[in-house]
């Protein structure tokens, strides 16, 4: 099925000021937390490991998917970071968003944010859609859940009004999938990006590790990754589904999931996470280096520009968060990692 190129973004007046303000709200929460814990990301603070991988572009792709690096089969050295979504260091047994961040190195061409960088990032979480109608709602939730617990309810009512019950219901449902492994469930971009003249959502679908067990240990995901990667590499299929119509696959309406029956998935790549180094020194050095990097959906060539209001809001929030934590510059393939400090597991636990 051929997707449509007839998609549109709706860019409102005054977005820059609005999104700057939202980014500042998130950065304030990040700075406040850094008074008690090591400085780290404003969201997705806790990593389950920083890993080396290879991203492969597959041969014989459908014509419409042959854009940028997907024009011809190729392989890219890749960094991967799995995380919990919270801005704090909480146990893996707590319900939370789970994330995968993937950075390809060696990607040619001009990029949107750092024109000369040779990187392209893909970020995904478990939910294929979410309850937020606007970036203000997303940040309103983040704000309500940070700081004074007694302020949470009034802030939530202030943000969502009469929709609060249904929003909390959807969030609960979205967080219900707490599988014991980061290489068991499918991760979704959840928001669209451009794909040449088309617009797509993408996902990482694990190949070969179905899990139905729930996570039971406070750092269970890290332990599980360690165990699985000691046995050999793990692989994900990288898939895209194209926009077909504003009705079925809206660009700006995050709560509407793009269904497979309307927008079928096409596998265009493969992510292979390598069996990792066996010495602790190397593993820790790599993990600390990956902690210092910025994974950002806006690290991409124009042909893959993120689209929709939530994506545009992210363009401000990731910048502020990474500047606040003094993140490392983009890798160029010559980087070597050394053992440095990173948010420490036991010391940082809230
Ligand atoms: C709904 C789709 C979204 C997905 C799939 C997503 C995914 C992720 C992932 C996987 C990370 C961790 C990156 C890493 O490991 O370095 C992350 C970090 C972050 N996200 Fe999102 N996110 C989404 C929406 C948003 C929105 C709407 C905002 C705010 C407007 C936001 C703000 C942030 C911030 C501030 C960070 C930390 C950035 C850093 O310091 O490097 N995210 N996100």
Q: Which of 86, 89, 74 is nearest to 37 (CA)?
A: 89
Residue 227 in 3-state DSSP? helix
Residue located nearest, by CA, to atom 20 of ligand 1: 43
H or E stretch covering 225: helix 220-231
Ligand 1 binding pocket includes 103 (Cβ within 6 Å): no
Q: Are 22 and 316 in contact (CB under 8 A)?
A: yes
Whole-number Å distance, alpha carbon 243 to ligand 1 midpoint, is: 23
Q: How far is ligand 1, taken at its centre, from the CA of residue 86, in Å?
A: 10
> Does residue 289 lie in a domain region?
yes
Cβ neighbours of residue 198 closer than 8 Å, sequence gap 6 or more: 3, 4, 5, 7, 64, 67, 242, 243
Nearest CA to ligand 1 atom 27: 310
Look at residue 343 and tell me whether its pLDDT is greater than 60. no
The DSSP letter of residue 27 is: H
Q: What percent of the chain has pLDDT over 90?
A: 80
CA 43 / ligand 1 centre spacing (Å)? 6
Minimum-distance ligand 1 atom for the alpha carbon of 99: 10
Domain-embedded: residue 333: no
CB 115 within 8 A of CB 107: no
Quick one: average pLDDT of 298-321? 98
Asked if residue 75 is part of any domain, the answer here is yes
81 lines ligand 1 (CB under 6 A): yes
**Residue 103 located in a structural domain:** yes
Cα 158 from chain centre: 27
- For residue 318, the CA-to-ligand 1 centroid distance in Å is 7
Report the CATH number that the domain containing residue 170 is assigned in CATH.
2.40.180.10
Residue 7 maps to a domain? no
Q: Quick one: pLDDT at residue 338? A: 64
* Number of domains observed in the structure of the chain: 1
Cα 43 to Cα 26, 145, 193, 234: the distances in Å are: 8, 12, 21, 26
8 A C-beta contact, residue 301 and residue 109: yes
298 assigned to some structural domain: yes
Nearest residue (by CA) to ligand 1, atom 11, is 44
Q: Judge whether 198 lies within some domain.
A: yes
Q: Would the CB of 174 count as within 6 Å of ligand 1?
A: no
In a domain, 335, yes or no: no
Cα(63) to centroid(ligand 1), Å: 31
Structural domain of residue 200, as residue ranges?
Answer: 15-326
Pocket test for ligand 1, best of 222, 317, 325 (most atoms within 8 A of CB): 317
Band of pLDDT at residue 79, cut at 50, 70 and 90: very high
Spatial separation of the C-alpha atoms in residues 312 and 305, rounded to whole Å: 10
**pLDDT score for 175:** 84
Using an 8 Å Cβ cutoff, are 35 and 272 in contact? no
| Cβ 295 under 6 angstroms from ligand 1 | yes
- pLDDT score recorded for residue 203: 98
* Structural contact between residues 42 and 26, judged by C-beta atoms closer than 8 angstroms: yes
More confident residue, 95 or 64: 64
């Amino acid at each position: 099925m051929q997707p449509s190129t007839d998609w549109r973004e709706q860019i409102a007046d005054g977005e820059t000021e609005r999104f700057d303000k939202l980014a500042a709200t998130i950065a304030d929460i990040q700075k406040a937390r850094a008074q008690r814990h090591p400085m780290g990301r404003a969201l997705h603070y806790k990593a389950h490991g920083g890993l080396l991988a290879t991203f492969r572009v597959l041969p014989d792709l459908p014509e419409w998917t042959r854009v940028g690096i997907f024009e011809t089969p190729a392989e890219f050295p890749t960094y991967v970071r799995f995380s919990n979504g919270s801005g704090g260091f909480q146990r893996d047994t707590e319900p939370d968003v789970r994330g995968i961040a993937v950075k390809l190195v060696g990607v040619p061409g001009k990029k949107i944010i750092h024109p000369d960088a040779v990187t392209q990032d893909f970020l995904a979480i478990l939910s294929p859609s979410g309850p937020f109608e606007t970036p203000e709602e997303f940040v309103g939730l983040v704000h309500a859940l940070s700081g004074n617990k007694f302020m949470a309810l009034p802030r939530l009512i202030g943000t969502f009004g009469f929709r609060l019950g249904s929003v909390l219901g959807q969030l609960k449902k979205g967080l219900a999938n707490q599988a014991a492994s980061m290489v068991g469930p499918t991760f979704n971009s959840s928001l669209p990006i451009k794909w040449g003249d088309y617009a797509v959502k993408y996902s990482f679908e694990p190949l070969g590790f179905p899990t139905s067990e729930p996570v039971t240990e406070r750092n269970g995901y890290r332990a599980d990754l360690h165990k699985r990667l000691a046995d050999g590499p793990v692989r994900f299929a990288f898939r895209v589904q194209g926009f077909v119509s504003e009705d079925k696959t809206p660009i700006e309406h995050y709560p509407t999931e793009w269904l497979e029956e309307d927008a079928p998935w096409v596998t265009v790549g493969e992510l292979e996470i390598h069996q990792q180094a066996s010495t602790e020194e190397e593993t820790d050095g790599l993990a600390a280096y990956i902690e210092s990097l910025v994974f950002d959906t806006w690290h991409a060539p124009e042909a893959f520009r993120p689209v929709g209001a939530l994506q545009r809001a992210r363009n401000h929030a990731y910048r502020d968060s990474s500047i606040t934590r003094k993140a490392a510059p983009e890798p160029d393939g010559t980087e070597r990692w050394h053992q440095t400090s990173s948010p420490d597991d036991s010391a940082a636990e809230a």
